Amino acid sequence: MRRTVPRSTLRKIIKKYKPQLRLAANADLLVHLNFLLFLHRLAEEARTNAFENKSKIIKPEHTISAAKVVLKKSRG
Amino acid sequence: MADRRARRRPGLRSSGRHTAQAAAQTGSNPGNDSNSRRRTLGQRRLRVFPDPDNDTPRVMLKRVIQTQPQVSPLKPRISNHEGTEEASPELPSKRVSSMGELQLPDLAAEDTFVTVFHLNKKRKKVSISEFERAADKRLFQNQAQSTLDNTTLFRSLRMSVGSLMAPDTVEKRGLLRRPRNRKAIDMEAFEGGVEQNMLKSNAQNYLVDLQSASGIRTTMMTSDAEIVLNNTELFVQPQLNERSQNKLSALGPQLSHSKTPAQRSKISDAAQDTAGPEGLVSGVGTDEGRTQRHSENSGLDQEHIDRMAPVSPGTPANQREDQQDGSQQSNPVEQVSVHEEEVAGSAEHGASAGYSEHLEKELAEEAELQITAAQDSRDKTDTAPSAGEGLAEGSDGPHVSPGAEHETAKGVGAGSLDRHSDALSSSEKSGMNPLEEDDEQDVLEDQAIMLDLDDPEEEPAEDESEHPESQEVKNFESEVRQCRLDLEETAMGSSQQRREVSMKTPAFVRAAAHNPLLSAPQDEKPAAPKSLVQLLKPKQVPGRSGTSQRKPREPQIARSLIKEVFSYFVKMPVTREAFKIVEKCSEKYFKQLSSDLEAYTSHAGRKTVEMADVEMLMRRQGLVTDKMPLNVLIERHLPLEYRKLLIPVAVSGNKVIP
């Protein structure tokens, strides 16, 4: 597993979308945690889709349908 | 004597020099039957005399050891040779007999004999005949003196053996020498070959260095250089890119604030996406061929280059390591330019008028954009979100990242959008439709291999359903036809950029465009290395001259990180396309995330996102529940250092790390 979280990249991304927004000191770590959990959910969903299709490989279709669901879920 | 001869034979045989031995024997005894007689006699006699002593090889060995030290193989002994010359003729005769009897000592003594042979070789060659003559005379004399003969015999043996062995040694040396000679020859030839290889490798290294040159500035350079090196035909394209980069550097500061960065990123992403499904390697050659044609066509048209300039640097801005992407992006750029040319040519009457109007409007508004600060853009973003969306959707169609474009347009340099949106949305939509259709159709036609799009069907649908549908739904629907959308996106995005940039072109860029245009055909001709150098220099220059604006990087989560995390979580093989989808998904996610965080923070009356805000977000997402506290998640997924940062841990000494 990676050992260094891309903290600066995260900050830049958020700045890109919301330049007026500031981030607290370690808030970007929580954001990264959030991102990891999002990917986790996406992976689980995609894996479920692939199993349903009896496919042993994650295909784009599986990912797309998984993304639809998970993005809706993680809207907050 | 005979014993020794017998020794010799097995010794020689053991060494595998039968032929040498035979030759030596024949050479030493040319037509001397007497020697053979002597051998037999000697054998008899030797056996008689030394029988009690020679029976045991042990004794013979003793003799050898005793006699050997007297003769040092290293010292040349002329006197001994002379003394033993007389005895030597006997030796050959005796050797034969002795060889058979004694084998063990021969093996032991062979080494010394061999060394002696080497020493004696040179001298012995000449004296063989003399030995033979002397042997006849001395045969009887030496026979009586067995013990003495031992010493002398040994020496003479060595001498004779040396003589006999001379041819062997010669052969030995010849054998030994040959490989040495071979080595020498091989070395010489090898060195020559190495030099040749060095030349080649230097050329290759030069290319490799070019290719491997790091840095954003040199990426396009290297990619173009490589393209040039790979296909000498392609001079126009890299040079066009080169010039476009030159223009870009001039336009850079102005364009940077505009929405082009976002579009560039989208284009780059789209291009990369197109690169994925299209099969990069095979496509490069054909695409390059296409681009060449396109470039040739475009070289004739000034407008192309003007439009090329902003678009191509925009695309290279996001190209870094993937040369194929560079070629791919240049392809859409080229194609776009071609389309634009065609569009310009075809849409002269009605659409062109409207188009030029758009261009003018965009020009003016782009100029304003440059002047206005981010604050203005913010205000304008607030006022023109829908219009921007409408514009983007109308122009770009259902793209994966139209929302991103909208937001970036809002957030960054959307000043133009405000005024653009109303005018453009209304006028452009009508004007855009035919243009888009033409563009997309042209794009599709050019990439006929890859596409079977229903553009006309999709476009009206896209135009019609601009506002009401949510971006997400649209995007998802579009993602189903990912390939097509990506291509469209590139066409649309690039067309948008085209229009936006073309606004500026009439101002001053065209003047600059003229010069490179004029020089373009001339520069096509120089050889590849020259073009390489040209590519290097001019490409370095814009990088240096445009220091005020280095190619703006789009902040993106590292693809490798995404791959690693996703693969770890999914525990199954994932296709490349699926990874691309994951990337896009994560981009959307970050967009959502930032907007949500902003909402929460502003709700709390703050301007800085705090940990509580993020936790609230996670709770809303359903990641943090009453059953699953935040700290548990932190412990699970984050590395140790960060855990310590986030969770107050009681450390020894009552020191709590906040």
Query: Residue A6: what pLDDT?
Result: 83
B8-55 confidence digits (pLDDT tens) = 444 444 444 444 444 444 444 444 444 545 544 444 444 445 556 557
User: Is residue B267 pLDDT above 60, yes or no?
Assistant: no
Could you report how far apart the first and last alpha carbons of chain B are, in Å? 103
Across the interface, which of B482, B590, B601 has its CB nearest the CB of A13?
A: B590
Minimum CA–CA partner of A12 in chain B = B555
What is the rounded distance in angstroms from the CA atom of residue B64 to the CA atom of residue B74?
Answer: 17
Chain B positions touching A21 (Cβ under 8 A) are 594, 597-598, 601, 607-609
Task: Give the mean pLDDT of chain B.
Answer: 54
Q: Under an 8 A CB cutoff, do B607 and A21 touch?
A: yes
Mean pLDDT, residues B352-367: 46
What is the rounded distance in angstroms from the CA atom of residue B634 to the CA atom of residue B618?
Answer: 12
Chain A positions touching B581 (Cβ under 8 A) are 60, 63-64, 67
Mean pLDDT, residues B407-418: 39
What is the rounded distance in angstroms from the CA atom of residue B649 to the CA atom of residue B655?
Answer: 8
Q: Under an 8 A CB cutoff, do A38 and B570 touch?
A: no
Chain A positions touching B374 (Cβ under 8 A) are 19
Query: Residue B398: what pLDDT?
Result: 42
Query: Residue B549: what pLDDT?
Result: 64
Q: Per-residue confidence at A25, pLDDT binned at 50, 70, 90?
A: confident
Quick one: which of B128, B49, B142 has its CA closest to B81?
B128
- Specify the higher pLDDT residue, B647 or B6: B647
Across the interface, which of B610, B618, B642 has its CB nearest the CB of A34?
A: B618
To which H or E segment does residue B650 belong?
strand B649-651
- Specify the higher pLDDT residue, B219 or A13: A13
Interface test with chain B among A8, A11, A12, A17, by most B beta carbons within 10 Å: A17
Interface test with chain A among B473, B589, B596, B606, by most A beta carbons within 10 Å: B589
What is the rounded distance in angstroms from the CA atom of residue B436 to the CA atom of residue B429?
Answer: 9
Q: Under an 8 A CB cutoff, do A6 and B564 touch?
A: no
| Smallest Cα distance from B443 to chain A, Å | 24
Across the interface, which of A17, A31, A46 has its CB nearest the CB of B570?
A: A46
Query: Residue B348: what pLDDT?
Result: 44
Across the interface, which of B562, B581, B618 has its CB nearest the CB of A67?
A: B581
B293-334 confidence digits (pLDDT tens) = 444 444 444 444 444 444 444 444 444 444 444 444 444 444
Q: Under an 8 A CB cutoff, do A5 and B638 touch?
A: yes
Work out the number of other CB atoms within 10 angstroms of the CB of residue B526: 14
Query: Is A51 near chain B, with CB under 8 Å?
Result: no
User: Is residue B579 pLDDT above 80, yes or no?
Assistant: yes
Mean pLDDT, residues B62-83: 63
Quick one: which of B252, B246, B48, B260 has its CA closest to B143?
B48
Q: Under an 8 A CB cutoff, do A6 and B557 touch?
A: yes
| Smallest Cα distance from A49 to chain B, Å | 11
Query: Is A18 near chain B, with CB under 8 Å?
Result: yes
The string of DSSP letters for B344-409 reads HHHTTSHHHHHHHHHHHHHHHHHHHHHHS-HHHHHHHHHH-HHHHHHHHHHHH-S-SSHHHHHHHH
Query: Residue B382: what pLDDT?
Result: 43
Minimum CA–CA partner of A37 in chain B = B623
Question: Which of B411-415, B445-449, B563-567 is least confident?
Answer: B411-415
Query: Residue B508: what pLDDT?
Result: 53
Minimum CA–CA partner of B403 in chain A = A17
Q: Under an 8 A CB cutoff, do A62 and B578 touch?
A: yes
Query: Residue B416: what pLDDT?
Result: 41
Give the list of residues 6+ apart from residue A27 with CB closer than 8 angstroms, or none: B609, B610, B611, B613, B614
Query: Residue B632: what pLDDT?
Result: 82
Chain A positions touching B596 (Cβ under 8 A) are 75-76
| Smallest Cα distance from B657 to chain A, Å | 13
Q: Under an 8 A CB cutoff, do A20 and B634 touch?
A: no
What is the rounded distance in angstroms from the CA atom of residue B92 to the CA atom of residue B71?
Answer: 19
User: Is residue B600 pLDDT above 70, yes or no?
Assistant: yes
Q: For residue A32, how far is the Cα from the chain centroid?
A: 9
CA dihedral B312, B315, B318, B321 (to 10 degrees): -70
The string of DSSP letters for B290-334 reads HHHHHHHHHHH-HHHHHHHHHHHHHHHHH--S-HHHHHHHHHHHH
B512-555 confidence digits (pLDDT tens) = 455 544 444 444 444 445 555 555 555 555 545 555 666 666 77
Q: Which of B51-65, B76-90, B118-132, B505-519 has the highest mean pLDDT?
A: B51-65
Look up residue B254 and give its two tokens: 């102005």
Mean pLDDT, residues B455-476: 44
User: Is residue B374 pLDDT above 50, yes or no?
Assistant: no
Q: Under an 8 A CB cutoff, do B621 and A74 touch?
A: yes
Query: Residue A30: what pLDDT?
Result: 87
Q: Under an 8 A CB cutoff, do A47 and B589 touch?
A: no
Chain B positions touching A38 (Cβ under 8 A) are 586, 589
B398, B478 in Cβ contact below 8 A? yes
B470, B394 in Cβ contact below 8 A? no
**Length in residues, chain B:** 658
Across the interface, which of B480, B594, B596 has its CB nearest the CB of A64?
A: B480
Fill in the amino acid letter for B528: A
Query: Is A45 near chain B, with CB under 8 Å?
Result: no
Q: Under an 8 A CB cutoff, do B594 and A62 touch?
A: no
User: Is residue B336 pLDDT above 60, yes or no?
Assistant: no
What is the rounded distance in angstroms from the CA atom of residue B225 to the CA atom of residue B211?
Answer: 8
Q: Under an 8 A CB cutoff, do A13 and B577 touch?
A: no
The string of DSSP letters for B473-485 reads HHHHHHHHTHHHH
B274, B484 in Cβ contact below 8 A? no
DSSP state letter for B554: P
What percent of chain A shows pLDDT beyond 90?
A: 1
Q: Under an 8 A CB cutoff, do A71 and B589 touch?
A: yes
User: Is residue B638 pLDDT above 70, yes or no?
Assistant: yes
Which domains does chain A show, CATH number per domain? 28-75 (1.10.20.10)
pTM of the full predicted structure?
0.33
| A-B contacts (CB, under 8 Å) | 198
Q: Which of B137-146, B358-367, B450-459 has the highest mean pLDDT?
A: B137-146
User: Is residue B356 pLDDT above 80, yes or no?
Assistant: no
DSSP state letter for A58: B
